[in-house]
Amino acid sequence: MDSVAPLPSSPRLIIDLDAVRTNYQLMAILSGTAKTGAAIKANAYGVGLERVAPVLARAGCASFFCAHLSEAMRARSVLGHEAEIFVLSGVSYGEAPLLRQKFLTPVLSTPEQIQLWREAGDGEPAALHIDTGMNRLGFDWHGFDPAMAEGLNLSLIMSHFACAADPDHAMNKIQLNRFSLIREAFPKVRASLANSAGILHGPETHFGLTRPGIALYGGAPLDTGGPALAPVARIEAPILQVRTLRKGENVGYAASFTAPRNMTIATVAIGYADGLPISASNHGFGRIDGHITPLIGRVSMDLSAFDVSLLPSTPEPGDMLSLLGKDLEALASASDTLSYELLTRLGPRFVRQYKGSSA
Ligand SMILES: *Cc1c(COP(=O)(O)O)cnc(C)c1O
C-alpha cells in the first residue's frame, strides 16, 4: 500500500434527484386539479437541466419553462418530442425557424414578437405573457387589446406574481384580479399564474397550469413558513489544512477577521469561484459531522476559512465540510441573498454527483 493515501482536494456537488421528484410530487398535489409544469431555466436552477428534466417528465411533468432558446433546445434534446417547452424570452428575429423546427413555444411579450410569430411561426402555438403589475416582461394589462392576438394559435396566457413570497401582500390580489379580467377575453385558452409561492396561495391562483421552480430544487418559496421540502443540492468540500491561530491574529484577504481568542481553524476548498458568495464572508457557515461551523474572514476564489475550535473533535485535512443541503435558506439569509441566487451560481468547477433511484 502506498504510504500516503490520496486525499480529496476539490469540492463536490451532490444532487439528489429523488428529492427533486418528491418536491415535484408535492407541488403537483398542492396544485390540485391544475396541471403542474416546471421552471427549468438557468440549468434547472444550477443543478443540471439534462439530469433534472427527465426526472420531472417521469414524475408526470409535461410543460417546461426555459428562459432562452438555447436552454429550450437542451431541454428538447433530453425530453423527446412529447414535452411542451416554453421559451420565456419569446422570439427574436432569426430564432423562429429553430423554434418551429424543435417545436418550442415562444412566450410573446411585445407587439413585435406577435408580428414576427404571425409571419414566421407557421401557425405553431405561442403563449402570451401579460404583465399585471410587476412591470418586468409582458403586455401591460392596462389597455391590453385582445384583438392584438388575432391570427395566433394561442396555447397559453400567463402572468407572474411580483410578491408571491408574501401571501399577505396586497399586490397578489390586485394581480389576480387583473389577470382574471384579461383572461375573460380568452375563455378557451389555458391560463397560468402561479409560481412555487403562488401555488401555496390556494386554488384560485392555479388556473390550468402552475409553474413551480425554486420549490422543486428545495428552496423555500415563502419568506416565512410553507411546506417542508426535500433538500436537493449539497456541497462537500475538503479541508486542505488545519491551523492554530493566536489571539489577535488575522484571517484572509483584507484581514477582515481578527481572532478574539486562541482558535483552531480549517482552510476549506470552497470559494466564490464555486458560487459561495463574498457576502458569506464572516457570516456564512458549513457543517462538519453535522455540527455548525462558522465561516470566518473573507471568502476567496478557491478557499474559505471555518472556525473549528468548538467542534467535539478537531478535524483533519481530508475531512469534509458540507454546505447547503437543509441549510440552503439559512446560508442564503446569512449571506444577504436568496436561495435562488445561491443555487443558480453553483459553479461549473464542481464535480457533480447525481444520486437517487432516478439518477
Ligand atoms: C422563474 C419563473 C417561475 C418559477 O418561479 P419560482 O419562484 O422559482 O417558483 C415561474 N414563472 C416565471 C415567468 C418565471 O420566470
Class of domain 233-355: mainly beta
Residues annotated as catalytic (active site), given as ranges? 41, 253
- Helix 49-58 to helix 17-30 angle (10° resolution) is 50
Please work out whether the CB of residue 218 comes within 6 Å of at least one atom of ligand 1.
no
pLDDT of residue 4: 63
The three cell numbers locating residue 145? 387589446
Dist CA 213 CA 71 (whole Å): 15
Task: For ligand 1, atom 10, name the residue with the nearest CA.
Answer: 195
For ligand 1, the distance from its centroid to the CA atom of residue 245, given in whole angstroms, is 46
Please work out whether the CB of residue 293 comes within 6 Å of at least one atom of ligand 1.
no
For ligand 1, the distance from its centroid to the CA atom of residue 20, given in whole angstroms, is 16
63-66/84-87 β-pairing: parallel
User: Across-strand partners of 158?
Assistant: 129, 192
Choose among 297, 217, 223: nearest CA to 253: 297
Dist CA 246 CA 226 (whole Å): 44
Question: Would you give per-residue pLDDT tens digits along the chain (359 residues)?
Answer: 455 666 678 999 999 999 999 999 999 999 999 999 999 999 999 999 999 999 999 999 999 999 999 999 999 999 999 999 999 999 999 999 999 999 999 999 999 999 999 999 999 999 999 999 999 999 999 989 999 999 999 999 999 999 999 999 999 999 999 999 999 999 999 999 999 999 999 999 999 999 999 999 999 999 999 999 999 999 999 999 999 999 999 999 999 999 999 999 999 999 999 999 999 999 999 999 999 999 999 999 999 999 999 999 999 999 999 999 999 999 999 999 999 999 999 999 999 999 998 77
Q: What is the CATH number of domain 31-217?
A: 3.20.20.10
Choose among 231, 233, 230: nearest CA to 350: 233
φ and ψ of 153, to 5 deg: -95, 85
Task: For ligand 1, atom 4, name the residue with the nearest CA.
Answer: 213
118 touches 108 (CB < 8 A): no
Question: What pTM value is reported for the model?
Answer: 0.96
Residue with cell 476564489: 301
Dist CA 88 CA 180 (whole Å): 21
Distance between first and last Cα of the chain: 33
Please work out whether the CB of residue 27 comes within 6 Å of at least one atom of ligand 1.
no
Dist CA 94 CA 101 (whole Å): 13
For ligand 1, the distance from its centroid to the CA atom of residue 195, given in whole angstroms, is 5
216 touches 38 (CB < 8 A): yes
Atom number in ligand 1 closest to CA 214: 8
Task: For ligand 1, atom 12, name the residue with the nearest CA.
Answer: 160
Please work out whether the CB of residue 196 comes within 6 Å of at least one atom of ligand 1.
yes
For ligand 1, the distance from its centroid to the CA atom of residue 65, given in whole angstroms, is 8
Please work out whether the CB of residue 39 comes within 6 Å of at least one atom of ligand 1.
yes
pLDDT of residue 1: 45
Task: For ligand 1, atom 6, name the residue with the nearest CA.
Answer: 213
**Spans of all domains in the chain:** 31-217, 233-355
Please work out whether the CB of residue 195 comes within 6 Å of at least one atom of ligand 1.
yes
pLDDT of residue 359: 76
Distances (CA, A) of 323 to 128, 175, 180, 222, 285: 40, 37, 42, 21, 7
Q: According to the 3-state scheme, what is the secondary structure of the chain?
A: CCCCCCCCCCCEEEEEHHHHHHHHHHHHHHCCCCEECEECHHHHHCCCHHHHHHHHHHCCCCEEEECCHHHHHHHHHHHCCCCEEEECCCCCCCCHHHHHHCCEEEEECCHHHHHHHHHHCCCCEEEEEEECCCCCCCEECCCCCHHHHCCCEEEEEECCCCCCCCCCCHHHHHHHHHHHHHHCCCCCCCEECCCHHHHCCCHHHCCCEECCCHHHHCCCCCCCCCCCCCCCEEEEEEEEEEEEECCCCEECHHHCEECCCCEEEEEECCCHHHCCCHHHCCCCEEEECCEEEEEECCCCCCCEEEECCCCCCCCCCCCEEEEEHHHHHHHHHHCCCCHHHHHHCCCCCCEEEEECCCC
pLDDT of residue 5: 60
